[in-house]
Structures are given as C-alpha cells and as structure tokens.
Amino acid sequence: MSYIAPVKDMLFDIQHLARIDQVAQMPGFEEAGFDTAQAVLEECAKFNEGVLAPLNFEGDKNPSSWKDGKVMTTPGFKQAFKQYAEGGWQGLQHPTDFGGQGLPKTIGAACGEMLNSANMSFALCPLLTDGAIEALLTAGSDELKAIYLENMISGKWTGTMNLTEPQAGSDLALVRTKADPQPDGSYKIFGTKIFITYGEHDMAENIVHLVLARVAGAPEGVKGISLFVVPKFMVNKDGSLGARNDAHCVSIEHKLGIKASPTAVLQFGDHGGAIGYLVGQENRGLEYMFIMMNSARYAVGMQGIAIAERAYQKAVQYAKDRVQSRPVDGSINASAPIIHHPDVKRMLMTMRAYTEACRAMAAVAAAAYDASHHHPDADVRKQNQAFYEYMVPLVKGYSTEMSLEVTSLGVQVHGGMGFIEETGAAQYYRDAKILTIYEGTTAIQANDLVGRKTARDGGQTALGVARQIEVTEAELIQQGGAAAKAVARRLQAAREAFVDVVNFVAGNTKASPNAVFAGSVPYLMLAGNVVAGWQMARALLVAEAELAKGVDAGFMKAKIITAQFYADHLLSKAPGMRDSIVDGADSVTALALEAF
C-alpha cells in the first residue's frame, strides 16, 4: 500500500469546523463552497496517490545529486513537476489576476497536506514558491509582479527564500550579503547563502531567488536588511529568458531526511556581481521576508500533519498484517495480527488522535486566514487576523513536534522491521525531524508566541480563545451524550491550566524574562494541545449530531472515540504542563554554567 488521501476527514473539518459555507459567502469566494472543496480534494487525491506517492521511497534511495554547478533531481521528479504545474496546482490559492485559481486557504491547506503526505521532498519546491509569490504580491512593484508572478503561479518558474548564511542562522542581524546600487536602478549582489531549498534543480526553466542583503551604508542589525529578487536567468523585455545571472550552486547538503529535496549552497557575485532588483523599500527586507516566513510556517505545520498521516497509514497496515503472539484476553487461541494487542492499539490511537486533532486545528486556522483577508467587515477581519497570528506558532510548533512522536511510534509499531529501511517507516521518522527546525525552530515559534502573541497584548487574544473554549464546554454538557460530558471535564481542566499559564506569561515576561522563557516551549505545547483538543471536542459534538441523524455511522462513531481518546490520553496532560511552566522555572535556570 502506498498512500490513500484522508479526503473524508478533511471534508468533515472543512464543512463542520472551518465552516466552508461561511467562507463561501465572502467576496471573491462565492464559487468556493463545499461542492468545490469536494471536487478539488478528490482530484488532488488522484494526482498525489497516483503520481507523487510512488516516487517518495525512490527519492530517499536516489536523492538529488550535484555536479559542476548543476543539480539533477530524483528520476521521475521532473515529469511529475510538469504534471503538477499543468494541473494548475501551484496556482490554487493565488489570485486570478495572475492566472491563479483564487481558492481559499481552507481548501488549499488540505491540498497541501496531501502533497506533503505523498512526497514531502517534492512538496518543498511548491511550498517555497508559494512563499516567494506571497512576498511579491504583498511588497513587489507592479513591474516585478508583471515580470515574475504569472510564470511562478503557473509553475513554469519556481521560487526560493535566501536568509541563512554560515554565520547567520536564526539571528538575521548577522546577515552580511551585500547589495551595491547600480545606475540603472538594479543592484549587484555579493555573498553566500546556505540551506537554500531547491536553490538549484532541473524541474523548471527559471528559479526566482528572494535574497536578504545589506545596501552599503544601511543601519546595523535587522533594521538594515533589504529584500531582492535575483533570478537564475535574466528576463528579457519580451518575457523570454536571457543571460545566466551570477548566482551559482556550489554544493548541496547530505542530510538525515528529505533527501530528494536539494538543499543548496548558493554563491552570489563570484563573477562580477549577481543582478538583483529591490522588493519594496530599502531596509524593510525583514518585514517582507516575514510574509514568506508566515506563509511557510503554516505550511510546515501542514507538513507535520502530512507525515504523521502517512506514518499512521503505514503502521495500521503493518499491524493488520503482522502475526505475532496470542491476544491477552484469549479471544483468539492462536497467534494473531498485532493490532489485537492493547498496547499496539494505544500507539495507533495516539497516532490517529494527534493527526486528526492537528488537522482540525489547521483547518480552523485556515478559515480565520480567509476571513482576515476577505470578510467585508473590518472588525471581523481584525479579530480573525489576531486569531490566525496566534495560531501560526501552534500549527507550526505543535504539529511538527507531534509528528516526531507519531513517526517514532510508527517505527515502534513495526518493531525491529521499523529499524530496517526497506519497510519505509524509518524514512518518515527521518523526514519529520527537520520540521521542528526549519522556518524557525520550535523555540523560535515559542518566543514568537510569548513575545508578539501573548505579552504584547497582555494575553488578550489568548484569553479570547479560552472564552471560546468555555462556550464549547457548555455545549458539550448541554447538547452532548455521555462521551461529550466526559470530554467537557477534561477540556475544562485543560482550559483552566491554559488560562493560568497565559496570565503567568503576560504578567511576568517583562519582570522575569528567564522564568517565562524557561517555559516558553512547554507553553507552546500546552496551547497547541488545548486548541487541538478543543477542535476535537467540537468535532465530537458534530459527530454525535450526525450519528443521531443516521449519517455515515462508521465514520461518526470513530470520530467520537478518537475525540474521547484525545481527551483521556493527550488533553489530560495539560494540568501537569501548567505546573512545570508556572512552578518549575527555577530548576531550569538554577544550575551554574560550569556545572554542565
């Protein structure tokens, strides 16, 4: 078995939790209701199951290779990318003005999950291109948009983001790449960038690099960084490709996972200077790059959900096939498939519950993004913007950390065979590790959650989320059956723990920063756990109501049980997490440095 897209679960979230019917009432999305979502997802599933999923294992065995400045991708990738572009998938969420389909993120996010489940190494190329498109749409001049956007949205050209340098990882104040202004208004770019995903490849005819650099005389630190478009090939006035630019790939990295995705070291300006064009205004590069980063951070969260789904499917299949030992309850008087063993069920349920909860959380965040951009009421847009921005570090941080646990459990279900490469379970585990690192490590997501998203507004956005959770608790008690009432108890305890932590963070970030930041990642994990659990509680309510109507009984019963499992086994950890954050800071920071 390769991969079967979980279209039914995605559509459940899109319809009942993200409320696609409300999204479809917003200007520009009138054609994007449930029927459109269903048609798009079913078509997307066919492409990903049939074309991309079979190339995943091949990409791990035969990764991209570099020779004489050129990168050859895994056999089959180039043809698959051509099909991807011709299918219009790159333009799914981008504006119709430049040839995109203008669909809401609520639909696009589900398609992104499928793409990454099918083949994460491949999916990184469109993911980075999406980010580059977003940045140009927001900050690019009309001229830059006219030259680059249509070909990027069609998938004819791809995009990259160039932040990192050997001495500047997460600290972009240390960026040293130079930009020298030229008389014709262009700039010459000189410097080295590392960790550039799809910085060189053979799948598209041009690559549009977005590069952070400093103009001579710019202020020190992050205030002096500008953003430039540096194409691999120059573009002639008639839109045809011209001379090769002075931007070259000097090597690619050998990595733990995502081996088919070429991670390039790019050298700009070794032969007189790479020609670049300023995006927006000088010294505002970081602000523009954050547009790409926020787009990419959400997308990396979807990668976590995607790899978890693939690992879960693989583990279920193995657990049904692998015969080993008698069931402990004596129900079968012989060796049986290991799925009969309670601990194997516990592992599979953990994998399933994490994946479904994070998928639900991401769908709701996507709908908030859509409302923040398209809702006719300015106040509603503002509220949704604040909610979406609060959600981004949760979707990125919690979903990727959970993917490590889920893919590790996937190996464990396979036992010794999981440690053997031929089963494929180990690839998901290796591929997942990067997700907690790139586009800002989990600690950087947590810093963002503490500083920008909680302390800055005195915890008001976070406490607003808590109030919404409280409404769901009341609905569980008033409308739900026994399962709903049991989940309500867990959800209440988790919300109270969350509120305590929010108040601790908002009240102490200025006065006791070390105490707060000692618990910043645990706060992120607590917030993700609670918000994902909240969505599972909402899902349970919907499933109970649908079951009462006789709709799809098998699916709805499974949803109720999965939500109960999440509450009993995962959400129940929240009060203990609260204690470690609020009471445990001293033991994090107390040990003298020389004692380590």
Instruction: Catalogue the active-site residues.
Output: 439
Phi first, then psi, for residue 203 (nearest 5°) are -95, -20
The CA distance from 444 to 436, in Å, is 10
Instruction: Mention every residue, 6+ apart, whose C-beta is less than 8 A from residue 325.
Output: 335, 336, 338, 341
**Integer CA distances (angstroms), 130 to 92, 136, 401, 407, 576, in order:** 10, 10, 23, 26, 39
Distance of alpha carbon 245 from the chain centroid: 32
Which one-letter amino acid corresponds to residue 321? D
Closest C-alpha among 310, 302, 156, 132 to residue 228: 132
Question: Under DSSP, is residue 321 helix (H, G, I), strand (E, B) or coil?
Answer: helix
- Tokens standing for residue 523: 């706060």
Give one DSSP letter per residue of 256-267, joined into a string: SS-TTS-EEEEE
Name the H helices within 154-196: none
Instruction: Mention every residue, 6+ apart, whose C-beta is less than 8 A from residue 471.
Output: none
How many alpha carbons fall within 13 Å on the CB side of residue 151? Answer: 19
Phi first, then psi, for residue 70 (nearest 5°) are -110, 145
Phi first, then psi, for residue 260 (nearest 5°) are -75, -15
| Largest Cα span, the chain | 85
The CA distance from 293 to 287, in Å, is 10
Closest C-alpha among 420, 432, 466, 430 to residue 578: 466
> Looking at the DSSP assignment, which residues form a beta bridge with residue 158?
207
